[in-house]
Amino acid sequence: MKKILITGGAGFIGSHVVRLFVNQYPEYQVYNLDKLTYAGNLENLVDVDSKSNYHFVKGDIVDADFINQLFEKENFDGVIHMAAESHVDRSITNPMEFIFTNVVGTVNLLNAARKCWKGREEGKRFYHISTDEVYGALGDTGSFKETTPYSPHSPYSASKASSDHFVRAYHDTYGLPTVLSNCSNNYGPNQFPEKLIPLFINNIKHNKSLPVYGKGINVRDWLYVEDHAHAIDLIFHQGKDGSTYNIGGNNEWRNIDLIKKLIEIMDRKLGRPVGTSLALITYVTDRAGHDLRYAIDASKLRSELGWEPTIRFDEGFEKTVDWYLANEKWLDNVTSGSYQDYYRKMYGE
């Protein structure tokens, strides 16, 4: 494989995947296509942007003409598709944006790849990155397998589920060489501070209240972002054509327990008496359609491709907090301007 298109490479997970591919595969030309929405930030990639095998293309996957022209011009060998609207709360207030980018955008890419690769699919690969949220919510036991029926509850997960179905349909109908993975919640550096962990780090730092939805008893399975990036590398190169792989950290936390652990680490690092920031916890109205529990069974990825998460949660969580505290300028830049309007609308402060 020579020319790889990574979509959404300026976002949270995308930037870690771009970095890994640019550094690990100097023989590849890596194209990062990103619209640079509020969640896309080229500051995430300052350490790779002068490398000769890295190319940035600003563009919108919803624009079919633009996408077709780009494929005709560059004749990509592989696609890793990560561009998406990714925040559940935003999908509740503005679902259409999610349908355009996540559904129409994905189908535009599938059409362009299909046209470009027609009759010479050998060695090509379209890899679609998805989420465990498509499977819906679990009760107190069990975990999602690749065969678990889809049952999305939020406009975000419904749009991702729809895009997953299109990817499989293009494989089965047109023989497009596809592979797909569904991952659990990621955490780590460079995540936009509207998602739980970076939002709460920023709020603790500024002594702002911590809005816990409902009773804080919802459970998420957390994976360090670099472990996800390594799984993506493995699946892209070795995953079986037409297959789906679940990726997860085997690391379930109730939100309230995770928040208390975060408070303990933050108080220690900020030199506050441990427990001081517990007073910031504020229980607020629950998220509509809030899934109770996600848990991933990643045994297929482990047995077929030998993948294991390598970063223990304790270590990854400390590293994450350290990164946000050390990168004040990054945090200040992304939380200025339109972020303030978003925050006021969402949390009324």
Q: Is 156 a catalytic residue?
A: yes
Supply the minimum distance, in Å, between the C-beta of residue 156 and ligand NAD: 8
Q: How far is CA 324 from CA 190, 203, 315, 329, 333, in A?
A: 8, 12, 15, 9, 12
Q: Which stretch binds ligand NAD (CB under 6 A): 20-28, 55-63, 279-287, 337-345?
A: 55-63
199 touches, from ligand NAD, ligand TYD, none (C-beta below 5 to 8 Å by class): ligand TYD
Altogether, the residues listed in the chain come to a count of: 349
Catalytic residue among 156, 224, 294, 343: 156
Please tell me the distance from the alpha carbon of residue 176 to that of residue 295, in angstroms, as a whole number.
30
152 touches, from ligand TYD, ligand NAD, none (C-beta below 5 to 8 Å by class): none
Catalytic residue among 34, 60, 85, 133: 133
Under the binding rule (CB under 6 A), the answer on residue 82 touching ligand NAD is yes
Nearest in space to 324 (alpha carbons), one of 199, 222, 186: 199
CA 127 to chain CA centroid, Å, is 14
Would you say 94 or 209 has its CB closer to ligand NAD?
Answer: 94
Binding positions for ligand TYD, 158-197, rule CB under 6 A? 185, 195-196
Binding positions for ligand NAD, 161-200, rule CB under 6 A? 183, 185-186, 192
Task: Compute the CA torsion angle 93, 96, 99, 105 (nearest 10 deg).
Answer: -120
CA terminus-to-terminus distance, the chain: 50
190 backbone φψ class: left, alpha, beta (φ>0; ψ -120 to 50): left
218 touches, from ligand NAD, ligand TYD, none (C-beta below 5 to 8 Å by class): ligand TYD
Please tell me the distance from the alpha carbon of residue 175 to that of residue 314, in angstroms, as a whole number.
43
H helices within 189-327, ranges in order? 196-205, 225-238, 255-270, 299-305, 313-326
Contact letters (x/-) for ligand NAD, 105-124, by CB under 6 A? x-------------------
Strand partners, 224: 187
Catalytic residue among 34, 60, 85, 132: 132
Which residues contact ligand TYD by CB under 6 A?
88, 185, 195-196, 199, 211-213, 218, 220, 255, 287
Which residues contact ligand NAD by CB under 6 A?
7-8, 10-14, 34-37, 39-40, 60-62, 82-86, 101, 105, 129, 131, 160, 183, 185-186, 192
Residues marked as catalytic: 132-133, 156
